[in-house]
């Protein structure tokens, strides 16, 4: 009877929707790759694949962070500025004679601290996340410009460039079958870091109590609080994570350029939010996955790269990416209304 058919049908429905969402984003990614491969000779090359992967990394780091914050029902607009501040702090520290590793860790700590301030503003001062992080966006950018006198920091030495430009080569080995394995073309460190971060955060979200609490806070903060979830601490964590990942992004970007630019990363927060939203994260909170965001980041990255390859002007690119964001979220809305 209806009592039985209704819930099972709805569950199947729920699953199907989930699949369609994942599939739709992924399918559009594939379609894009096919289209660009046919329109541009250079698109379908290993070199270009690596370029795309590299370009995607910064969006992906920030997208992963944005996903966590957005799942709690918040938003972090400060990441673009925070990455600039972290990058220049790391560079100045290295310039002052600190080892590169220490300098970069310092940069990440600075990023995490900015996130902590955001978190405190949201949890203690009860500012709306939009306002709290908008403030930090201005403060961090101002600080970065102030401490560098708005000039790029260069002459950082080769060691500073390793993180951004180096890659991991698989060493030739003799396999069990007696044949030497083919030499791996090399995975850039930033790409490696992206995979590590995405996998780690994905596991954190889906398999740990902390992750469950993040979803619970975004799904119904009051219910979570009354269930004994430390809502302030969970919220705080996501902002610190966001700041720290912005810090790491800053270090990677500046390392790649071998120069620390205080005006780097303008509007990156919007790319990050866009990748999360394209990947199915709901700005209402409680819904979102890292795999979705990864797809979202690649959608943006490949779109940009492919349009570049086809000689589309950057103005037109902006228009197209804007329309893609509107389209994806609209489809998502339609899906949820069904």
Partner 1 sequence: MRPDAGHPGRLDLEVVLEERLAPAHASASGPAKTPTAEAPYGTARHDGNAELLRLTGVTKRFPGVVALESVSFDLRRGEVHAVCGENGAGKSTLMKIISGQYPPDDGSIIYKGNECRFASSLEAQAVGIAIIHQELNLVPHLSVAENIFLAREPHRGIFVDRARLRADARRCLDRLGVDIAPGTLVRTLSVAQRQMVEIAKALSLDAEVLIMDEPTSSLTETETSQLFRIIHELKRAGVGIIYISHRLDEMTEIVDRVTVMRDGRYVSTDVFRETTIDKVVARMVGRSLEDKFPPRTSVPTEEVLLSVDQLTRTNVFSPVSFELRRGEILGFAGLMGAGRTEVARAIFGADLPDGGTVRLGNETLAIRSPIDAIRHGIAYLSEDRKANGLSVNMPVASNITLAHMDAVSNRFGFIRFAAEAAVAQRYIDTLGIRTPSVRQIARNLSGGNQQKVVISKWLFRDSRVLFFDEPTRGIDVGAKFAIYELLDRLAAQGIGVVMISSELPEILGMTDRVAVFHEGDLVTILETRQTSQEEIMHYASGRMAASDTPDASGASQ
β-bridge mates for residue 174, sequence order: 180
Find the part of the chain contacting partner 1 (CB under 8 A) among 10-18, 127-135, 158-166, 193-201: 10-18
Query: Quick one: 51 exposed, middle or buried, by C-beta within 10 A (0-12, 13-18, 19+)?
Result: middle
Cα 44 to Cα 60: distance, rounded to the nearest angstrom: 21
Which of 31, 168, 210, 316 touches partner 1 (CB under 8 A)?
210
Positions in 151-170 near partner 1 (CB under 8 A):
none
Q: Residue 168: which H helix or E strand, with range?
A: strand 167-168
Helix (H, G, I), strand (E, B) or coil at 152: coil
Q: Does 333 contact partner 1 by CB under 8 A?
A: no
Whether residue 136 contacts residue 78, with contact meaning beta carbons closer than 8 Å, is answered with yes
Q: Does 16 contact partner 1 by CB under 8 A?
A: no
CB 195 to partner 1: min, Å: 20
* Farthest-apart Cα atoms in the chain, separation: 76
Residues in contact with partner 1, total (CB under 8 A)?
A: 33
CB 159 to partner 1: min, Å: 35
Whether residue 234 contacts residue 217, with contact meaning beta carbons closer than 8 Å, is answered with yes
Query: Quick one: 163 exposed, middle or buried, by C-beta within 10 A (0-12, 13-18, 19+)?
Result: buried
Q: How many CB atoms lie within 10 A of CB 76?
A: 34
Considering the complex, state which of residue 218 and residue 262 has its C-beta at the smaller distance from partner 1.
Answer: 218
Find the part of the chain contacting partner 1 (CB under 8 A) among 132-140, 163-171, 172-180, 201-209: 201-209
Q: Does 41 contact partner 1 by CB under 8 A?
A: no
Which of 39, 101, 146, 209 touches partner 1 (CB under 8 A)?
209
Tokens of 201: 């955060």
Positions in 211-240 near partner 1 (CB under 8 A):
212-213, 215-216, 219-220, 222-230
Considering the complex, state which of residue 165 and residue 220 has its C-beta at the smaller distance from partner 1.
Answer: 220
- What sign does the CA torsion over 76, 79, 85, 90 have? positive
Cα 52 to Cα 309: distance, rounded to the nearest angstrom: 11
CA nearest to 328, candidates 14, 25, 18, 27: 25
Considering the complex, state which of residue 226 and residue 266 has its C-beta at the smaller distance from partner 1.
Answer: 226
Burial letters 106-119, b for 16+ CB under 10 A, else e: bbbbbbbbbbbbbb
Find the part of the chain contacting partner 1 (CB under 8 A) among 172-180, 184-192, 203-211, 310-318: 203-211
Q: Does 20 contact partner 1 by CB under 8 A?
A: no
Positions in 125-144 near partner 1 (CB under 8 A):
none
CB 2 to partner 1: min, Å: 5
Cβ contacts of residue 32 below 8 Å, gap of 6+?
A: 299, 302, 303, 306
Q: Does 124 contact partner 1 by CB under 8 A?
A: no
Considering the complex, state which of residue 7 and residue 322 has its C-beta at the smaller distance from partner 1.
Answer: 7
Positions in 258-287 near partner 1 (CB under 8 A):
286-287
Considering the complex, state which of residue 123 and residue 220 has its C-beta at the smaller distance from partner 1.
Answer: 220
Considering the complex, state which of residue 73 and residue 265 has its C-beta at the smaller distance from partner 1.
Answer: 73
Q: Does 288 contact partner 1 by CB under 8 A?
A: no
Q: Which spans of this chain sit near partner 1 (rule: CB under 8 A)?
A: 1-3, 5-11, 13-14, 207-210, 212-213, 215-216, 219-220, 222-230, 286-287
């Amino acid at each position: 009877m209806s009592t039985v058919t209704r819930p099972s049908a709805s569950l199947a429905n729920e699953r199907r929707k989930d699949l369609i969402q994942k599939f739709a984003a992924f399918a559009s990614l594939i379609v894009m790759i096919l289209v660009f491969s046919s329109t541009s000779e250079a698109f379908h090359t290993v070199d270009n694949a690596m370029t795309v992967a590299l370009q995607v990394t910064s969006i992906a780091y920030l997208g992963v962070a944005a996903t966590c914050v957005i799942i709690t029902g918040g938003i972090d607009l400060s990441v673009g500025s925070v990455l600039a501040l972290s990058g220049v702090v790391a560079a100045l520290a290295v310039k002052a004679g600190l080892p590169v590793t220490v300098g970069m860790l310092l940069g990440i700590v600075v990023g995490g601290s900015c996130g902590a301030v955001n978190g405190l503003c949201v949890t203690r001062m009860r500012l709306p996340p939009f306002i709290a992080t908008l403030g930090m966006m201005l403060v961090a950018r101002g600080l970065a410009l102030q401490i560098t006198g708005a000039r790029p920091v260069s002459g950082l030495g080769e060691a500073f460039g390793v993180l951004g430009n180096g890659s991991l080569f698989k060493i030739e080995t003799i396999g069990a079958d007696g044949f030497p394995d083919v030499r791996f073309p090399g995975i850039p460190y930033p790409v490696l870091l992206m995979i590590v971060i995405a996998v780690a955060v994905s596991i954190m979200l889906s398999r740990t109590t902390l992750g469950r609490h993040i979803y619970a806070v975004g799904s119904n903060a009051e219910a979570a609080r009354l269930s004994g979830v430390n809502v302030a601490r969970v919220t705080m964590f996501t902002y610190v994570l966001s700041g720290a990942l912005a810090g790491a992004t800053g270090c990677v970007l500046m390392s790649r350029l071998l120069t620390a630019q205080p005006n780097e990363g303008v509007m990156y927060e919007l790319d990050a939010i866009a990748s999360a939203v394209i990947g199915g994260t709901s700005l209402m909170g409680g819904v979102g996955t890292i795999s979705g965001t990864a797809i979202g980041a690649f959608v943006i990255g490949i779109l940009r790269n492919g349009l570049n390859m086809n000689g589309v002007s950057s103005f037109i690119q902006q228009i197209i990416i804007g329309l893609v964001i509107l389209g994806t979220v609209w489809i998502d809305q339609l899906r949820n209304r069904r």
